[in-house]
Amino acid sequence: MGWTMGLATAALFVGLAMVATGSPQMTCAPEPVNATDTDLCNGLEVTYPEVGNIDCKVIPSCNGYRKKITTWSQPMVKYPMASENSTYMLVMVDPDAPSRASPQARYWRHWLVVDIKGADLKKGTVKGQELTTYEPPTPPPQTGFHRYQFSVFLQDGKAISLLPQESAARGFWGLEQFLIRFQLTNPEARTQFMTQNYEDSPDVSPEPAPPAQGVSAPKDKLKMSGFAFLVCVHLAHHL
C-alpha cells in the first residue's frame, strides 16, 4: 500500500513540475487568425500532422512547424456536411503571391481536385482526379504572412478541366474566370490558415551543429526538467 501511494505521489510531483516548466504540447499551439480574416472560415476542417486542425488558425513558429509544413504531404480535408451521394471539387490557393502587399502572381494554385465523392469528403478523405497535384505552403522570405485558402464546390454533373495555358503554370491563375466558366461561384464550405517563411519567425535559431565524432550528445536534452528529475529521485529514495 505504501509503495503504491509513493509512486502516485512521485507521479503527481513530476506532473506538477512539468506544468510549472511548460510542456511543448501546452504552450505551442496554433492561434486564431485576426478577426478581419475570419470571414472565409465556414464549415471546412484542414488537418496537418502535429498541429492538428488549422481551420482559421496561424501556424506557430515554435517546434519548427513553419519549416515542417513546407515538407508535409497533403492535409486531411474534411467537410462534415457533405452529401454522400454528391461529388465535389476542392481548390487550394495562395492569394498573396508573392506577398499580401503586392499580390501580382495571385492566385497561386496549390491543389485542385475534382470528382471527390461526398462520402469520402465527409470522412476527410480527398480521392478524385488531381488536375493540380498538391504543393505545400512555401512563402518566400521577407514577404510576410500568406493566406492559404481552401474551398469546396458542389460539382454534380459538371466535367471540369484546366485550359492549356492554365495548366502551364500555377501562378497568375484567373480563379474567378475559372469558376465562372463552370458556374461554380458559390462554395459549399471554405477556410484558410496563415503562415510565413520560417526564417522570418522571431524565435528561429540556427540549426545546432552535429556533435564531434566520439563525443556524446549533451544529456540535458531530456524533456523532463532537472527539477522534475530531482523530485522523482528524491521520492524514490524514500520509498
Q: What is the pLDDT of residue 27?
A: 81
Share of the chain above pLDDT 90, in %: 70
Q: What is the pLDDT of residue 26?
A: 55
- If you average pLDDT over every residue of the chain, what do you get? 81
Distance from CA of residue 26 to its chain's centroid?
17
Domains by residue range for the chain, with CATH: 30-204 (3.90.280.10)
pTM reported for the whole predicted model: 0.75
Which has the closest alpha carbon to 151: 123, 116, 101?
116
Q: What is the pLDDT of residue 149?
A: 98
pLDDT in tens, 102-147: 999 999 999 999 999 999 999 999 999 999 999 999 999 999 999 9
Say how far apart CA 58 and CA 61 lie, in whole Å. 9
N-terminal to C-terminal alpha carbon distance within the chain:
11
pLDDT in tens, 37-52: 998 999 999 999 999 9
Cα dihedral across residues 226, 221, 59, 112: positive or negative: negative
| 221 pLDDT above the threshold of 50 | no
Say how far apart CA 192 and CA 120 lie, in whole Å. 21
Say how far apart CA 91 and CA 114 lie, in whole Å. 9
Query: Which uninterrupted H or E stretch holds 121?
Result: helix 118-123
